[in-house]
Amino acid sequence: MDVFDSCQLINDALNRGEDQAARDQLIQLLDFHQSNRLQQSSLVNHLIRQTGLYPYIELESSNWSDRFVFESFKANVGTDRPITLHREQSHLLNRLLNGENLAISAPTSFGKSFVIDSFIAIRRPDVVVIIVPTIALTDEVRRRLQKKFSSEYKIITTSDVDLADKNILIFPQERALGYISKLKQIDMLVVDEFYKASAKFDKERSPALLRVMLKLSSIAKQRYFLAPNISRMNNSPFTEGMEFLELSFNTVFLKKTELYKEIGGDENKKSTALLNILGQAKSKSLIYAGTYSSIYSIANLLVDKLQPVENPLLNSFADWLSTNYSSNWQLTNLIRRGVGIHTGQLHRSLSQIQVRLFEEDACLENIISTSSIIEGVNTCAKNVIIWKSKKGSTKLDDFTYKNIMGRGGRMFKHFVGNIFILDTPPNSTDTELDLKAPDSLYGEIDEATFKDSMSPEQMARVIAYKEEMGNLLGKDAYSKAMSENTFQTSDSALIKSIAISMRQTPSDWNGLAYLNSENPEDWDRMLYMLIKLQPAGWEIEYRKFVAFVKILSGNWRHSVVSLLAELDTHDIGLMQFFKLERNATNKLAALVSDVNAMHKLVFKDPAVDVSSFAAKLSHAFMPPAVYGLEEYGLPRMISKKIHDAGVLDFSDPDLSLHHAVNRLRKISLRGIIRRVPQLQGFDRYLLNYFYEGIQVARDLKKDAPPPLSA
């Protein structure tokens, strides 16, 4: 590449007003400089300034005017030193500081998190609520903000935590519902990946997100919604008063290689292409599998074709997986070959530690993933390989396809992301975000607010629904229940079906209190009755799910290996264990809670209260702090060792997550290692990762990890 000729082409594109083309060419030129270890000339620095990519300016070789711009666009982002923002980041931040309500669409590489952090650092708002799509992303955001703001703010990610004077609350939409009644005012409401409020993109979870957006927006002084790849946004009560901005400003370039044309649907050719890419790759690769069956296929291929790597840390991790889960698990064998798996079903600590190992230089080289890698974490890679253009059982839409490709490249690390397309891509389309109230939210809708966005037929159904619920429960009782957000589920039809069942067949609900029994054999009848209320929600036969819940009740007393031995008699394996535990802690726990609330409204019997059973379900029958710590990156197995060593009593009913974190912080990493003799090799690495995530901003001296052999 001739540097001067490239600069001339970039300058010509700028003169024609083709900013994105100029930026793409410049980023490729910077990649050439990085690959060949060349210093940027003053001419290159000047073009960087012209394209607005100010953070890429090299001060040593720039003239005074370019250095002035570099310094002028620095902003406080909560770190020790201010960070230079690019042109569009600075423009966006200024508009937020002026109090505007903005819904933006920007590429993955835009750097949207810097804008949030800078707003908090400059404005110091009292209450910030950040809604994220997954629990995995909750912890990632928590870790980032913990390092910057924990000395001033209480950072809350779990339910039932008391508020402080200044709070940053980070939740997935389902968890945020529990705080609606506790918050009187929000200074800034941030909704990340807000496109998921559209049923077109996430039919199952969109009602809950719409409900949260509606409720929290009513008490928010300012709102900031973020998404990638949206071209237009319709007018909607959910985004009323917000301005939509499409910011196409990219900081990396995506180089596409369309191998699907020569593969032509031949699975053997596809497998050969994948192995060739991985064999020639000099950097990390994300492999988007698309379906769980494809993950298994790719995993089998790589276990068969790749040789184990000589990496003590990965071998220690594989041994840890063998001991704590299964030696026959695909993941155990993949880890020994430098390959990880990322899905939404795994225990959160497992997903987190694999991302950590992937981001370290000499650890995992490849990760096979479903869409969880784009929904649950912000990791990127030099190479993105699209194996199958599907998302579960449905064909991949253009929006998600672009989002996956956006994981290629990373600012300052990989100027160019290589995208290898092994399956026919979806047709390219403009993406308009159309946010409409679904039928499942009829109980939440205020007729006056939605009168202009709903048809007469829809409005009639809303009114009829509320009248029917008023007749079933009493108008005042129903109104109070809705105003207090009594029900966790966002499915109005399910809530109505529970009320009808209790009114029409009250004898069926005799014995609900048996769920409080310490003997799981007493739960059968009510568990069957509950899961039949939501017939499509469990992904397994009723009898197997009931058996699973009963066996899961021993989750704290027994190891995962022991539970799997019991579950084997019901033909439930490890991957199903992950999936069913998720269903129990989320869907079933919410259902039990709503049934309990409805039972009080219908029967008015204070003696029947199964809220304790719902709570046990919600943390998988483990102590609440243990379940919460797993989201922070501390596996349950290590918490059990700490408990058994008498270092911290997790069975203490008064031990909240925040109290546990504070106690562990005081004990220190070295104190835990000294006082818990049962800890083995990889336990110490996991503990170090956990402790990194609970450091207080004012004390960031890293407690160095001891060697694995310690």
> What is the signed CA dihedral for 173, 221, 127, 234, rounded to 10 degrees?
20
In a domain, 432, yes or no: no
- Choose the final residue of a domain: 618, 651, 675: 618
Type and span of the H or E element at 569: none
pLDDT higher than 60, residue 707: no
Q: Are strands 243-246 and 432-433 parallel, antiparallel or unpaired?
A: unpaired
Write down the pLDDT at residue 698.
Answer: 65
Mean pLDDT of 470-480: 92
Cα–Cα separations (whole angstroms), residue 393 to 171, 290, 389, 540, 703: 28, 9, 10, 17, 45
DSSP state of 220: B
Q: Residue 566 sits in which domain range?
A: 486-618
Nearest alpha-carbon partner for 225 in 346, 83, 130, 84: 130
Cα–Cα separations (whole angstroms), residue 310 to 203, 338, 362, 637, 685: 44, 9, 11, 26, 18
- DSSP for 479-499, written as a single string: HHHHHTT------HHHHHHHH
Write down the pLDDT at residue 702.
Answer: 47
Asked whether residue 390 falls in the same domain as residue 402, the answer is yes
Asked whether residue 289 falls in the same domain as residue 401, the answer is yes
pLDDT higher than 90, residue 392: no
Write down the pLDDT at residue 488.
Answer: 84
pLDDT higher than 80, residue 708: no
573-576: long-range contacts, CB 8 A cutoff, minimum separation 24 = 574/325, 574/326, 574/329, 575/292, 575/345, 576/540
Write down the pLDDT at residue 371.
Answer: 82
| Residue that the structure tokens 């979870």 belong to | 205
- Choose the final residue of a domain: 618, 648, 668: 618
Q: Are strands 127-132 and 154-156 parallel, antiparallel or unpaired?
A: unpaired
Model confidence at 700, pLDDT cuts 50, 70, 90, reads: low
Determine the residue type at 536: A
Q: Which residues are registered as beta bridge partners of 171?
A: 131
Write down the pLDDT at residue 446.
Answer: 78
Asked whether residue 664 falls in the same domain as residue 632, the answer is yes
- Using DSSP, state whether 538 is helix, strand or coil: coil
Largest CA distance in the chain: 84
Tokens of residue 127, six digits: 């209450």
Asked whether residue 280 falls in the same domain as residue 385, the answer is yes
pLDDT higher than 50, residue 225: yes
In a domain, 77, yes or no: no
Tens of pLDDT, residues 172-223: 988 888 788 888 999 999 999 999 898 888 888 888 899 999 889 999 999 9
Tokens of residue 376, six digits: 């649950």
CB 481 within 8 A of CB 473: yes
Chain mean position to CA 262: 35
How many structural domains compose the chain?
A: 6
Asked whether residue 63 falls in the same domain as residue 93, the answer is no
Model confidence at 432, pLDDT cuts 50, 70, 90, reads: confident
Q: Are strands 83-84 and 74-75 parallel, antiparallel or unpaired?
A: antiparallel
- 234 half-sphere exposure, CB direction, 13 A CA radius: 13
pLDDT higher than 50, residue 701: no
Beta strands in 247-338 (DSSP E): 253-258, 285-288
Write down the pLDDT at residue 683.
Answer: 97
Determine the residue type at 108: T
Nearest alpha-carbon partner for 399 in 411, 391, 388, 408: 391
Nearest alpha-carbon partner for 96 in 134, 128, 56, 49: 128
In a domain, 710, yes or no: no
Nearest alpha-carbon partner for 48 in 27, 28, 31, 72: 27
Residue 536 CB neighbours (<10 A): 5
Q: What CA–CA distance (Å, rounded) separates 480 from 484?
A: 6
Q: What CA–CA distance (Å, rounded) separates 322 from 680?
A: 13
Nearest alpha-carbon partner for 593 in 622, 620, 579, 613: 613
Asked whether residue 357 falls in the same domain as residue 472, the answer is no
Write down the pLDDT at residue 706.
Answer: 45
Tokens of residue 705, six digits: 């990890």
In a domain, 78, yes or no: no
234 Rama sector, left if φ>0, alpha if ψ -120 to 50, beta otherwise:
beta
Model confidence at 634, pLDDT cuts 50, 70, 90, reads: very high
Cα–Cα separations (whole angstroms), residue 321 to 478, 676, 686: 49, 20, 12
CB 632 within 8 A of CB 693: yes
Helix, strand counts (H, E) of the chain: 32, 19
Q: Are strands 390-391 and 394-395 parallel, antiparallel or unpaired?
A: antiparallel
Mean pLDDT of 262-284: 94
Asked whether residue 451 falls in the same domain as residue 504, the answer is no
Tokens of residue 26, six digits: 């410049």
- Choose the final residue of a domain: 576, 592, 618: 618
CB 255 within 8 A of CB 418: yes
Tens of pLDDT, residues 507-557: 999 999 999 999 999 999 999 999 999 877 798 999 999 999 999 999 999
Determine the residue type at 515: L
Determine the residue type at 258: E
Asked whether residue 508 falls in the same domain as residue 453, the answer is no
pLDDT higher than 50, residue 703: no
Residue 265 CB neighbours (<10 A): 9
In a domain, 697, yes or no: no
Mean pLDDT of 9-23: 96
In a domain, 705, yes or no: no
In a domain, 700, yes or no: no
Q: Which residues are registered as beta bridge partners of 501?
A: none
pLDDT higher than 90, residue 621: yes
Asked whether residue 468 falls in the same domain as residue 579, the answer is no
Mean pLDDT of 3-17: 95
Q: What CA–CA distance (Å, rounded) separates 132 from 166?
A: 20
Asked whether residue 521 falls in the same domain as residue 561, the answer is yes
Asked whether residue 107 falls in the same domain as residue 240, the answer is yes
Q: What CA–CA distance (Å, rounded) separates 634 from 502?
A: 41
pLDDT higher than 80, residue 451: no
In a domain, 709, yes or no: no
Taken as a whole, the chain contains a residue count of 710
Nearest alpha-carbon partner for 167 in 194, 133, 130: 130
pLDDT higher than 90, residue 360: no
Asked whether residue 88 falls in the same domain as residue 168, the answer is yes
Q: What CA–CA distance (Å, rounded) separates 539 from 534?
A: 11
Write down the pLDDT at residue 376.
Answer: 56
SS (H, E, C) 517-585: CCCHHHHHHHHHHHHHCCCCCCCCCHHHHHHHHHHHCCCCCCCHHHHHHHHHHHCCCHHHHHHHHHHHH
- Mean pLDDT over all residues of the chain? 91
pTM attached to this predicted model: 0.90
DSSP state of 221: S
Cα–Cα separations (whole angstroms), residue 111 to 108, 227, 488: 7, 12, 33
CB 207 within 8 A of CB 490: yes
Cα–Cα separations (whole angstroms), residue 461 to 468, 513, 682: 10, 35, 57
More confident call, 215 vs 430? 215
- Can you give the CATH number for the domain in which 225 is found? 3.40.50.300
Tens of pLDDT, residues 665-690: 999 999 999 999 999 889 999 999 99
